[in-house]
Amino acid sequence: MYRRLIAPGALAASLLLAIPASAADFEPGAAGIGDPYYPTYGNGGYDVSHYDLRLEYQPKTDLLEGTATILASSTQDLSRFNLDFGLTASEVRVNGKKARFAKSGVQELEVTPAAGLPKGTPFTVVVKYAGKPSEVKLWGFTSWQRTPDGGVAANEPEAAAWWFPSNDHPRDKATYDVSVSVPDGTQAISNGTLQSQSSKLGWTRFNWRSSKPQATYLATLAVGKFDITTDTTANGLPVVNAYSKDLGANEGAAKASVERTTEVAEWLETVFGTYPFEALGGYVPNVPSSFALETQTRPFYSPKQFANGSNVSVVVHELAHQWYGDSVSVDDWKDIWINEGFARYSQWLWSEKEGEGTAQELADYVYAQHPADDPFWQVEPGDPGAENQFDAAVYDRGAVAVQALRNAVGEKKFFAILKGWPKVHAYGNAGVSDFVRYAEKVSGKPLAGLFDTWLYQPVKPAASALGALSAPEQPKSWKKIAATNGVHGER
């Protein structure tokens, strides 16, 4: 929050100017934040700093009721602005006064405040709402998965609109207080730290706080009956893991994987630098999906990730995202390689550490797996298109690109880049071109050609570009890593 300091003379002048300006120059904020892949995602004209969500959820009926209080600031003279939301609003207030509101498009909630908001004004929006998120179809699907004892919001890039109104794009990050009341015996899991928990008249309220900037798709809510394990890391961070009580045969493997979160995070700190957030953990709800997601501080894992036994590699992947994706987030969704190329590469580094195949051996194997006419090589990880945002090439070819960088700049510079990048852009946003410039700066080498070859050409690069072997053996870690290929969100 900041206050504008206005000298008395300037105040008089601005009052005079404000009269003709109020109606004529105030314009609606854009219905999209300006992402070329998803033109209607997010919104223009304002910036959110904090979401306060006070919710109540009934697992029996899937009814979610709530009040969202949003702290924002206008970035233009604003006559009207949009939120992205799929449930039904019953009342909207801006700065305490009732505002007009209307639905438009797929997920737009148009809010017209009683008075225009001059550029640079902090303002508060209160939205009261209700709905059954599993029944709300946006773009033809719901991101809310029902479980036998509750429900879960976790998806990428679309997840928030099924449980709270927001400026739904990674470019507008904010802090969160998520307070959820559920029937006694049921738990509500979200991001960050559990500040408190209390019971009254058969309902238990869980108060979660995520105190570092968080993208909307990285906010998560899971309601159900969980086995919860808690611990504290050597550095004093709270660890909270949660497992549906009805995971059946997958329970052991899920716990044997996710309970290694602290160990994996400690190792990742040696590669990427200090862990960027205030809490750690993971959760495995009894959902039918097969993917995992790097929800901030507390990744989501589908039980199917553990159907063939424990898989620490998926934990490595989702925790690596805490640096590459969560703390440093994409600028536009076309920058997805910044997330996935590095999360996949972290799995290769883990394999290297475990003696199950070096990153070079895994890169060689990926290279040999895909002949030149494989459509795999037509996907450009640096700008894959919305339809290929989570294509295997973004992950595997993307990680080969990281290995090519390692070969080009040498071990010392390479690991300095891996550790430096999350520090330089901590809690912010960045794109692929920012990474290329950063790698050039740290290494002192021109790298545009290398990245063009691996990220932007729809052809298989020459083997010499990687120093690839012609017939590599399958690395020991290959199958476990390939089993995590469904880690991205699904529709």
Task: Tell me which residues touch Zn ion (CB under 5 A).
Answer: 340, 343, 487
CA angle 406, 407, 411 (to 5 degrees): 55
Report the 3 state secondary structure along the chain: CCCCCCCHHHHHHHHHHHHHHHHHCCEECCCCCCCCCCCCCCCCCEEEEEEEEEEEEECCCCEEEEEEEEEEEECCCEEEEEEECCCEEEEEEECCEECEEEEECCCEEEEECCCCECCCCEEEEEEEEEECHHHCCECCECCEEEECCEEEECCCCCCHHHCCCECCCCCCCEEEEEEEEEECCCEEECCCEEEEEEEECCEEEEEEEEEEEECHHHCCEEEECEEEEEEECCCCCEEEEEEECCCHHHHHHHHHHHCCHHHHHHHHHHHHCCCCCCCEEEEECCCCCCCEECCCCCCEECHHHHCCCCCHHHHHHHHHHHHECCCEEECCHHHCHHHHHHHHHHHHHHHHHHCCCCHHHHHHHHHHHCCCCCHHHHCCCCCCCHHHCCCHHHHHHHHHHHHHHHHHHCHHHHHHHHHHHHHHCCCCEECHHHHHHHHHHHHCCCCHHHHHHHHCCCCCCCHHHCCCCCCCCCCCCHHHHHCCHHHCCCC
CB atoms within 10 A of CB 148: 12
CA 318, distance to chain mean position in Å, is 10
The amino acid at 86: G
Widest distance between CA atoms in the chain: 78
| Cis peptide bond N-terminal to 157, omega within 30 | yes
Find out whether 346 and 320 touch, Cβ atoms under 8 Å: yes
What's the chain's Rg over C-alpha atoms?
A: 23
